[in-house]
Structure 1
Amino acid sequence: MTESLIAVLDIDGTLIDSNYQHALAWYRALRSVGETYPVWRLHRLIGMGGDQVVTAIGGEELERRAGDQAREAQGKEVDALLDEMMPLPGARDLLVAIKERGHRLVLASSGQERHVDVFLDKLNARDIADAWTTSDDVEKSKPAPDLLQVALKTVGASPDASSVVVGDSVWDVKAANKVGMPALVVRSGGFGDDELREAGAVAIYDTPADLTKALNDTPLA
């Protein structure tokens, strides 16, 4: 029998189908501060924390000039799109399957608390997860590993506890690699398999439902 692990699951894009809405929200938010970037470039940054997106897309000058304003506007744009963001196939079943195997479950998000609350309700996950995080819990988001380290702390685990990350982007995988956590990935992030494997993903699945079916072949057996 596999030893009990701590499963750290990303919410946005991994459990909730939200990546393309976030890209559109960033597009609109940046236009509101006078900057227009191709949506596809913004999509490539989704999964990276909002504290880093503005610098990544427009440089430090844009961050200094309009970073906070853009993030506030992006949050409001997301508010308007929340109804369109729904659980991906098998998302809740994956959470149940992980818990049934005796593992501890942390839903790790650097999203704003009001958005995380909506997603927890959409997943009906409050009684399943052992803990969850929001942007209020971290100083620096992915690809920095802070979020994963905080996730372990929320369940009283040490940094070297046996754990697994489930995400959807290269940013999830890179963060996991920095703290030595294996990363399972679903394709809803829109990244190519080659990119995910190069970043260090140990296995890739179409949806949470496909990961659930293959769970016995993973460290979360």
Structure 2
Amino acid sequence: MILDGVLLDIDGTFVLSNDAHAQAWVEAFTAYDYKISFEQVRPLIGMGGDQIIPRFAPELNDKEGTGKQIADHRKKLILTKFGSHLAPAPGARELVQKLKEHGLHLMVASSATSEELELLLKVAQIDDLVHEATTSNDAEASKPQPDIIEAALSKAQLAPDRVIMLGDAPYDIEAASKAGVSVIAFRTGGFSDEKLAGAIAIYDDPAELVQHYHESPLNQSA
């Protein structure tokens, strides 16, 4: 396999943000009198609002009415309350630099909104290195559906069998698999190795992958 490009999930992968997203969902639902716990929503982080909202309020969706208000409130909390407390995953910038040095085409494949993604890329300290992205605006359904992965492949004009995705959640692996893309997973999202079992390799964080780059599946571009 010759590797042409790498798809990048950002939340939980390059930014340690999953706990913040879970707390934002708890507060957003609570603001509209829906009671959910952190423990209930945390295992679902990695999905988009179109997947999460109906799990707790089947009568709602993220496109209209109260469901959209909850989704918008969660986004506001990330941008105005939690964003300033987020930290990059260890080795985030170093890994992206190495990928670029190896001539790989980089494309963000994220369920985040464009406003959130702008913030996240800055937190990850890679906003000057990555310039192509697909967001929730580019897909009908979020992960674990393959829409975002397929949109990223199309936008970058990359073949699925010549790409690897970097992700942190089982939903990244499921979505990528449906699109024919292999995934390298990081434990930065807080998911167990059992949950990440569909990945072709698992590392603690981007820093560990940088350390072992030459024996990793990414070292296939030559």
Q: TM-score, normalised by structure 2?
A: 0.91
Matching of residue 140 in structure 1 with residue 141 in structure 2: yes
Name 2:35's counterpart in structure 1.
Answer: 36
Q: Distance in 2 between the 1:182 and 1:74 partners?
A: 30
Provide the secondary structure at the position in 2 that maps to 1:26. helix
Cα separation, 2, equivalents of 1:70 and 1:183: 31
1:135 shift after superposition: 1.7
1: CA distance between counterparts of 2:151 and 2:184? Answer: 19
Task: Say if 1:50 and 1:114 are closer, same or farther in 2 by CA, change over 3 A.
Answer: same
Q: Secondary structure at the match of 2:112?
A: coil
| Cross-structure match for 1:182 | 182
- Alignment of 1:48 with 2:47, yes or no, is yes
Partner AA of 2:176 in structure 1: A
Amino acid corresponding to residue 33 of structure 2 in structure 1: G
- After superposition, residues 1-221 of structure 1 pair within 5 angstroms as 3-56=2-55, 58-63=56-61, 66-79=66-79, 80-158=81-159, 160-197=160-197, 200-221=198-219
Shift of 1:36: 1.1
Alpha-carbon distance, 1:121 to partner: 2.4
Instruction: Point out the more displaced range, 17-26 or 175-184.
Output: 175-184
Which SS does the other structure have where 1:210 is aligned? Answer: helix
**Deviation sequence 1:48-67 (CA, Å, 0-9, x none):** 112211112x1422448632
Gaps of 5+ in 2: none
Contact 2:47 2:111 (C-alpha < 8 Å) held by counterparts: no
Q: 1:107 & 1:163 partners in 2: Cα distance? A: 12
Contact 2:48-2:142 within 8 A present in 1 as well:
yes
CA distance, structure 1, for counterparts of residue 166 and residue 211 of structure 2 = 15
Structure 1 position 100, deviation (Å): 1.2
In structure 1, C-alpha distance between the alignment counterparts of 2:200 and 2:40, rounded to whole Å:
26
Counterpart Cα distance in 1 of 2:86 and 2:17: 5
**Cα offset, 1:12, TM superposition:** 0.7
Number of equivalenced pairs: 216
* Paired amino acid for 1:69: Q
2:93 aligned counterpart, secondary structure: helix
**Counterparts of 1:124 and 1:91 in 2: how far apart (Å)?**
8
CA distance in 1, matches of 2:218, 2:57: 40
Contact 1:11 1:107 in 2 (8 A): yes
- Shift in alpha-carbon separation, 1:72–1:119, aligned structure 2, 3 A: same
2:94 aligned counterpart, secondary structure:
helix
Q: Tell me: CA distance 1:55–1:6, structure 2 relative to 1, closer, same or farther (3 Å).
A: same
Secondary structure in 2 matching 1:136: helix
| SS of residue in 2 equivalent to 1:196 | coil
CA deviations 1:59-90 (Å, max 9, x no partner) are 42244863211101111111211111121110
* TM-score, normalised relative to structure 1: 0.91
Q: Is residue 101–residue 220 contact of structure 1 (8 Å, CA) maintained in 2?
A: no
Task: Output the aligned Cα RMSD.
Answer: 1.7
